[in-house]
Structures are given as structure tokens and as C-alpha cells.
Amino acid sequence: MADRDAATSDLRSAVERLYEAMAGHPRPGSIAFCDHCVSPEENARLLRVPLRQLTADDLGRYAWKSMGTWGDEADFRHFLPRLLDLVVTGQLDYLSGPDRLIHKTTVSGLSAEESAVVKRLLDAWWAVTLTRYPAPHTAFTVLEALSAAADDPAPYLAVFEQATGQAHAQHLADLVGDWAYTSARDDAWSRSIERWMTSPTPARLLEAATLAADTPQVAAALSEAYEHASMIYECHRQR
């Protein structure tokens, strides 16, 4: 519980720091939009409601259409703190996954300082995700999103080796299954994850977590994931 409280506090601090860092991007006086797919009422609400009072309903479609058929990079930079705030706290279920929003963040013209603050927020998001199970987003979803803003997944995967909490192990169990069945990318980020996932490390961690599980139900789920991770390792080793 102490780890979760500390991670939650770090996330809140990172969110506040992002609002502060992006405060120099004022609310636009007007926002251009395609009137075939955005209503004047939707657009007017973004111009009227204070940033922190905008809800996921207000910004959900904007997250999808921003810098395309609704507004430009300058507009996006104003709304970015609230967009990321809603995503990392699990309030905004972005249509095609948080990775699309994080990618937009990287091409929106942020300064080096602003990008560093975003990176700190994303790191805090990963940390807090792994301390609660279930979490608003799966570990696989967050890891995919992080790929849009970071060069190397190794520091994120290392958290599984450094942590001892059961929630971390449950997320790892899910990640083993999600990665094996849904990962189809072929880039440096994904190849780095593949090297880790096909190593003996996931199985070793899951075996230890199974023995330390709090309930028979959790132990059974972790044991199943251990068998899966072991199979992945053996199949890769025998190639």
C-alpha cells in the first residue's frame, strides 16, 4: 500500500508540473474545425469552459480529431495538460489507444523542457499502473503508449525485476499473454521487448510470485502465466 500511495503522489505531482509547464500556452480565441464532423457547440465548449473543468466527454472527440480536422498544434498544446491528465487518471478512454495521443504529443512542437515534463508524467503513469490491479489501463496498453515518447523499454521492464508487489506480478502475467497474442510490430522498441519476453526472466519472476500469492485464485492465474512464459522461453531457446 505504501508503494501505491507513493506512486499515486508522484503521479499527482507530475500532472501538476505539466499544467505549470504548459501554462504559457493560452486558450485560443478561436479554433478552426471541419463543420462536417465537429459541431459548433462542441467547438464553443472548448473555448468557453476552463481547462481543468473540461471532461472526458468534452475532449474525447477532440483527442481523436486534433491537429487534423479540429485545430492546429498551438491549440493542441493548450489542451494537452488536461488531455494527459484525463488519460493517466483513467478518465479518458481514447478511441484508438493512448499511444495515438502520445504520438501527437511528440509532434506538437513542445520545447525540450516541456517534453521532459511530459516524459516525467509518463514515467509516473507506468509506475502507478503497476501498483494497482486491475488498473485503468493494462500494462500492455501503457507500454505501447510509452513507445511513442521513449526510445528504450528496458527501464520500464526493469521495474518488474525491482518490485515485489503482487500487483506488479499480476500485470506481468497479463503482459505475457497480451504480448504473445497481440504484438505484431517490428521496430527497435518491440524487438527490445521481445528479447526480454523470450528470456528466462518473466518465468522466473512469475514462479516466485506464484509461491508468494495471497489467494489460491491469484496463485492459479500467476501459475498459468508462468507456464506460458516458460513455453515462450523454451520455444525461443530451441529455435
pLDDT, one tens digit per residue, over 48-77 is: 999 999 999 999 999 999 999 999 999 999
15 and 102 both lie in a single domain: yes
pLDDT, one tens digit per residue, over 106-136 is: 999 999 999 999 999 999 999 999 999 999 9
Region at 90 (left for phi over 0; alpha for psi -120 to 50; beta for the rest): left
pLDDT above 80 for 188: yes
179 and 81 both lie in a single domain: no
Show the domain range for 173.
Answer: 151-239
- At 98 the pLDDT is 79
pLDDT bucket at 239, cuts 50 / 70 / 90: confident
Q: CA-to-CA distance for 218 and 174, rounded, in angstroms?
A: 12
- Answer whether residue 141 is part of any domain: no
- Answer whether residue 178 is part of any domain: yes
- Answer whether residue 138 is part of any domain: no
- Answer whether residue 37 is part of any domain: yes
pLDDT above 80 for 97: no
Q: CA-to-CA distance for 236 and 94, rounded, in angstroms?
A: 35
102 and 208 both lie in a single domain: no
Domain count, the chain: 2
Cell of 160: 518488474
98 and 168 both lie in a single domain: no
pLDDT bucket at 184, cuts 50 / 70 / 90: low
Q: CA-to-CA distance for 84 and 118, rounded, in angstroms?
A: 9
14 and 104 both lie in a single domain: yes
106 and 28 both lie in a single domain: yes
1 and 114 both lie in a single domain: yes
Q: Compute CA distances 210 → 168, 198, 199, 201, 215, whole Å.
A: 12, 19, 18, 14, 10
Q: What is the mean pLDDT of the chain?
A: 93
